[in-house]
Amino acid sequence: MKNSCSRRSLLALLTGGIGWLATRPIAQAAKTAVKHVFASAKTPEGYDPTKHHWLMCIDVDRCIGCGTCAEACKAENGVPRGASYFRTWVERYIIKKPGSNAALRGDVVVDSPNGGQGGFPPSLVPRQDILKAFFVPKLCNLCEHSPCAQACPVGATFDTPDGVVLVDPTYCIGCGFCIQACPYGCRFMNPETHTAEKCTLCYHRITRGLKPACAEVCPTQARIFGDLKNPTENDPLQEFIKKNKVFTLKPHLGTEPRVLYANIDKEVR
Amino acid sequence: MDVVNLTQLGADAHTVLNHVEGYAYPNETNILWSVLIVIYPYITGLVAGAFIMASLVRVFNVSALAPIYRLALLTALAFLICAPLPLLLHLGHPERCLQVMMTPHLSSPMAMFGFVYAWYMMAVLLLELWLEYRHDFVRWGRSEAGLKGLFYRMLTMGANDISPRALAFDERMSIGVTIIGIPSAFLLHGYVGFIFGSIKANPWWGNVLMPVIFIFSAIVSGIALCVVIYNELSWLRRKDTCDDCLDAMGKFLFYALLLDFSVEGLDWLHRLYSADESIHVLKQLAAGKLFYTMLVGQLFLGTLIPLLSLGATQLMGGQIPSFIRRRIYYFSAVLILAGVLLMRWNVVIGGQLFSKSLRGFTTFKLELAGQEGWLVGLGLLILPFLILTLFVRLFLPRDHETPAHGGGNGDIHPATLAQGRTGAGQVSSVAGN
Amino acid sequence: MQRMPPQVLRLVLLTIAIVATYGVARALLTPATFGRYGHYRGAALEETASRTPLYAGAKACNECHDDVSGKATKGHKTISCESCHGPTRAHARDPDVATVKLTDNTCLRCHLSDPARPPRHKQIVTIEHYPGDRCIECHLPHQPNKSP
């Protein structure tokens, strides 16, 4: 039979144990909170994520659908080569002439063969039937209220302080919820690592002062990249924002995408 | 000019995506959530439904259902044990599964899984079973020899008091646990509905009725499962089924199915009426890719036929001979079980068959073997029945038919227990007290 | 103290044991940098940034080849070298490493006529534009409006 003395000491022991456990995470957080700047040898040393705010915008009128961006992204980031895995891709929209006089425009044909890599083959729609056609590059929309980060059950995908949405491949459990939650189709499950993957805005390049690979190789500057917190002289991003009326994709969903599209058509989803 | 290469590349690209009609985002062309994610909500739905069936006895005092009370709880446990398996098999990194409980991201409905599952398993189902069985564990622990006796004694956890006061306490606590258990069951399955309902990116999934539809179809499937298992067990043991019990189950099954059908009908009515931009692709989805699984399978075979036949038993029950009524209940239950599984299929797979660009469809290829193939799915559906067989052997012994815990009849005097024990097949008369 | 029913005592002890086990597991299994910037492993930022870039960037090319880029005309003035020449980091490290050999397809990738390309972009229909001749017979690659 327990007597009151041993019961009390048991209670004290339990309370002490719980107290120690409860303060451990606070102590850990205090230790790690001091370091905000990248410190390890392999990374761009001295980079402070809280001092930058990256953004890429798209000028649809400039895109010529050469697909160099999609190829460069796959090469730069080691993306699996299949046709179902793209961090960025290009879509071609062909709006046909209306069949009857009363209609505004005809059917819309959209395609993205192999994500646009290698350019687009000639469309099957005869040229004389085409009212309007254009290319639209697609990528992660860098949402202000990312539904993907909201959906992740473990905290493996997140919004960084510098405006990028990343996946932590060593923490991702591969449930695929974030992929379902993204309205823009920009995420995929990597068949080799079995984790979710997406455009990282070439985080390993932008932290070293380079441009993302897609923006680097785009021959027509359809992809405009910059740092909102540190605009350069004649910053193309600032020019873009000042000059254009812009659109975002699926605004009704409330994800507040930060990627701005200029000169886009109503048919683009 | 070397034009050949470009056209070649284009031709290659076109043949790669043969299984896509119209336009789908390149990353959407493979289905991500497959058979395993169809089976998981099915299993948790059966758990929730079977538990609700049991709670009808405990909390709502439906004495006619008393004979299946223990069976319903054991069924719920057998299926609950199997519930995490499809999830673990589906994860890209199952070895990291504990992260869901160590660093749960509170904005994600999926993060609730570990906690809701643990709560339901331990604080509701195991607790309820323990309180129900404790006096039997004590008696069997004393009367059985060897390992089996040791097993029962361990299950008592040393609480060996089976005086009327202790047993009355068990009963009161059990009612309390069931009362907590009902919303817990709704949470266990409702959060899965919310996982789909919260995806605003997907118009097939993201709507407010989704958790409600999931819960109601779960209740229907749970009741149907109890009908099937009760019939199977009685057949295996060459015992007669209790007509009152089956009639009560048939009644609840009918009304639950009617309710479920109404809510799903409301969903469709609302979609068709408000007709937002996704309606075109969704109508094509329902009439095309999902024609057999949804219109023929889920709707016609799984809902309308059972509604009509169960409705007939409700309207003209007295005129239909009991042996026909029993078969109607059984076959309706089987159709309903298939129909609810198809409903999960239509939601999970259907939601991934069309593109979020609303311009096209992809194809689902169900492989035979492999991590998400037919065989694994079948195995996962059979496993709970194997576990239930073991439970029935251990906890529903043939010659220890237990008396019913009838409504309001809290008198569990040892004499009554002994009486109930000797009268095999006399369960219904005790229940009628 | 009134005697607690044995069932309740056992259940309370079991509950305490389970909650304590969970607490210990959580304290031990949560990664160290978790929560530094938000609900994720802070170290993930550095790990993502530690990948070695493949494309060198136009600035790296200009360190040796600024005579070429300085003379570029028209649309080709603003194109990054690697857009046509492919990733050249290996070459930037060791100039003996050759870059990709370019063909007519390199030009056609951007300049083949397509109705979706903006009209002001220079594009040709190959069978109508000197079929049989190579592009560089008439166009200097970096100064496309000039002939060799």
Q: pLDDT tens digit string along A127-177?
A: 999 999 999 999 999 999 999 999 999 999 999 999 999 999 999 999 999
Encode pLDDT of C108-145 as tens digits.
999 999 999 999 999 999 999 999 899 999 999 999 88
Torsions phi, psi of C117, nearest 5?
Answer: -80, 140
* Chain B: touching chains (3 or more CB pairs < 8 Å): A, C
In which residue are the tokens 């890429």 written? A56
Mean pLDDT of B1-7: 34
d(CA B414, CA B143): 15
Stated as kind and residue range, the H or E segment containing A261 is: strand A261-262
Q: Is A254 on the interface with B (CB under 8 A)?
A: yes
C26, B105: Cβ pair inside 8 Å? Answer: no
Q: Give residue B227's identity as a one-letter amino acid code.
A: V
Cross-strand pairs, A89: A138
Provide ipTM, 2 decimals: 0.90
Encode pLDDT of A64-104 as tens digits.
999 999 999 999 999 999 889 999 999 999 999 998 777 88
Residues C62, C132, single domain; the answer is yes
Mean pLDDT of A192-215: 96
Residues C20, C67, single domain; the answer is no
Neighbours of B167 (CB within 10 A): 20
Neighbours of B170 (CB within 10 A): 22
Chain C residues in contact with A171 (beta carbon < 8 A): 31, 40-41, 44
The percentage of residues in chain B with a pLDDT greater than 70, rounded to a whole number, is: 88
Kindly state whether residue C147 falls inside one of the protein's structural domains. Answer: no
- What's the confidence (pLDDT) of residue A218? 96
Band (pLDDT 50/70/90 cuts) for residue A37 is: confident
Residues C108, C70, single domain; the answer is yes
Tokens describing residue B359: 């311009």
Residue B247: pLDDT over 70? yes
- The distance of Cα B397 from the centroid of its chain, to the nearest Å, equals 25
Stated as kind and residue range, the H or E segment containing B174 is: helix B164-197
Q: Is C141 on the interface with A (CB under 8 A)?
A: no
d(CA B153, CA B404): 23
Residue A31: pLDDT over 70? no
Kindly state whether residue C146 falls inside one of the protein's structural domains. Answer: no
d(CA B173, CA B158): 18
Kindly state whether residue C113 falls inside one of the protein's structural domains. Answer: yes
C55, A216: Cβ pair inside 8 Å? Answer: yes
Q: Are the beta carbons of B187 and B176 closer than 8 angstroms?
A: no
Cross-strand pairs, A95: A108, A132
Q: How many domains does chain C have?
A: 2
Mean pLDDT of C81-89: 88
Which fold is adopted by the domain A150-156+165-197? Alpha-Beta Plaits (3.30.70)
Residues C23, C67, single domain; the answer is no
- What's the confidence (pLDDT) of residue B20? 92
Residue B3: pLDDT over 50? no
Domain A51-142+201-262, second-level architecture: 2-Layer Sandwich (3.30)
Strand duo A54-59 + A261-262: pairing:
parallel
Band (pLDDT 50/70/90 cuts) for residue C2 is: low
d(CA C139, CA C75): 13
Which fold is adopted by the domain B30-264+372-425? Formate dehydrogenase/DMSO reductase fold (1.20.1630)
Kindly state whether residue C38 falls inside one of the protein's structural domains. Answer: yes
- For chain A positions 88-127, those within 8 Å of chain B (CB to CB) are 89, 91, 108-115, 118-122
Q: Would you list the DSSP string of A61-126? A: GG-----HHHHHHHHHHT---STT--SSEEEEEEEEPPSSSS-SS--EEEE-GGGGTT-PPPPSS-
List the one residue out of B107, B247, B192 whose CA is nearest residue A145.
B107
- What's the confidence (pLDDT) of residue B365? 83
Chain C residues in contact with B103 (beta carbon < 8 A): 30-31, 34, 39
Residues C39, C106, single domain; the answer is no
3-state secondary structure (DSSP) of residue A206:
helix
Mutate to test the interface with B, among C11, C21, C29 (most CBs of B within 10 A): C11
Residues C28, C74, single domain; the answer is no
Helix axis angle, B69-82 to B35-58, nearest 10°: 150
Residue A34: pLDDT over 70? no
d(CA B34, CA B364): 9
Least confident of A28-37, A220-229, B413-422: B413-422
- What's the confidence (pLDDT) of residue A131? 94
Residues C44, C62, single domain; the answer is no
Return all residues near A144 (Cβ < 8 A) that are at least 6 apart: A255, A256, A257, A258
B254 DSSP assignment: H
Among A114, A154, A174, beta carbon nearest to B103: A154
Encode pLDDT of B172-203 as tens digits.
999 999 999 999 999 999 999 999 999 999 99
Kindly state whether residue C122 falls inside one of the protein's structural domains. Answer: yes
Mean pLDDT of B130-136: 93
Burial pattern B87-104, b for ≥16 Cβ within 10 A else e, equals bebbbbbeebbebbbbbb
Angle in degrees, CA A192, A198, A201, rounded to 5: 130
Encode pLDDT of B28-59 as tens digits.
999 999 999 999 999 999 999 999 999 998 88
- What's the confidence (pLDDT) of residue A30? 54
Residue A227: pLDDT over 80? yes
List the one residue out of A71, A68, A108 whose CA is nearest residue A92.
A108
d(CA B183, CA B198): 20
Among A89, A120, A269, beta carbon nearest to B26: A89
Kindly state whether residue C41 falls inside one of the protein's structural domains. Answer: yes
- For chain B positions 191-220, those within 8 Å of chain A (CB to CB) are 195, 198-202, 205
- What's the confidence (pLDDT) of residue B14? 45
Neighbours of B129 (CB within 10 A): 21
Q: Are the beta carbons of A105 and A143 closer than 8 angstroms?
A: no
Angle in degrees, CA A246, A251, A253, rounded to 5: 165
Tokens describing residue B265: 């009908």
Torsions phi, psi of A201, nearest 5?
Answer: 60, 30
Q: Would you list the DSSP string of A118-160? A: T-PPPPSS-GGGEEEEEEEEE----BTT-HHHHH-SSS-EEE-
- What's the confidence (pLDDT) of residue B8? 41
Handedness of CA B314, B316, B320, B322 (dihedral sign): positive
Mutate to test the interface with B, among A175, A178, A190, A266 (most CBs of B within 10 A): A175
**A204: nearest CA partner in chain C:** C49
Burial pattern A183-216, b for ≥16 Cβ within 10 A else e, equals bbbbbbbbeebbbbbbbbbbbbbbbeebbbbbbb
- What's the confidence (pLDDT) of residue A28? 61
3-state secondary structure (DSSP) of residue A197:
strand
Band (pLDDT 50/70/90 cuts) for residue B424 is: very low
Structural domain harbouring C110: 58-137
Chain B residues in contact with A109 (beta carbon < 8 A): 23
Kindly state whether residue C143 falls inside one of the protein's structural domains. Answer: no
The percentage of residues in chain C with a pLDDT greater than 70, rounded to a whole number, is: 99
Mutate to test the interface with A, among C3, C80, C102, C124 (most CBs of A within 10 A): C80
Q: Which residue has the higher pLDDT, A241 or C73?
A: A241
Mean pLDDT of B291-297: 96
A93, C39: Cβ pair inside 8 Å? Answer: no
Residue B415: pLDDT over 50? no
For CATH 3.30.70.20, the residue range(s) in chain A are 51-142+201-262, 150-156+165-197
Band (pLDDT 50/70/90 cuts) for residue A42 is: low
Tokens describing residue B26: 């390149």
Tokens describing residue C93: 């490290």
Q: Are the beta carbons of B112 and B69 closer than 8 angstroms?
A: no
Residue B387: pLDDT over 90? yes
Among C18, C25, C133, beta carbon nearest to B102: C25
A192 DSSP assignment: T
Among C42, C48, C83, beta carbon nearest to A68: C83
B170, C7: Cβ pair inside 8 Å? Answer: yes
Encode pLDDT of B309-363 as tens digits.
999 999 997 888 988 999 999 999 999 999 999 999 999 999 999 999 999 999 9
* Chain A: touching chains (3 or more CB pairs < 8 Å): B, C
Whole-prediction pTM value?
A: 0.89
- What's the confidence (pLDDT) of residue B407? 30
Neighbours of B239 (CB within 10 A): 14
- For chain B positions 18-47, those within 8 Å of chain A (CB to CB) are 22-23, 25-30, 32-33
Chain C residues in contact with B102 (beta carbon < 8 A): 25-26, 29-30
- What's the confidence (pLDDT) of residue A35? 55
Residues C75, C125, single domain; the answer is yes
d(CA A38, CA A47): 5
| 3-state SS string for C50-81 | CCCCCCCCHHHHHHHHHHHHHHCCHHHHCCCH
d(CA B12, CA B164): 79
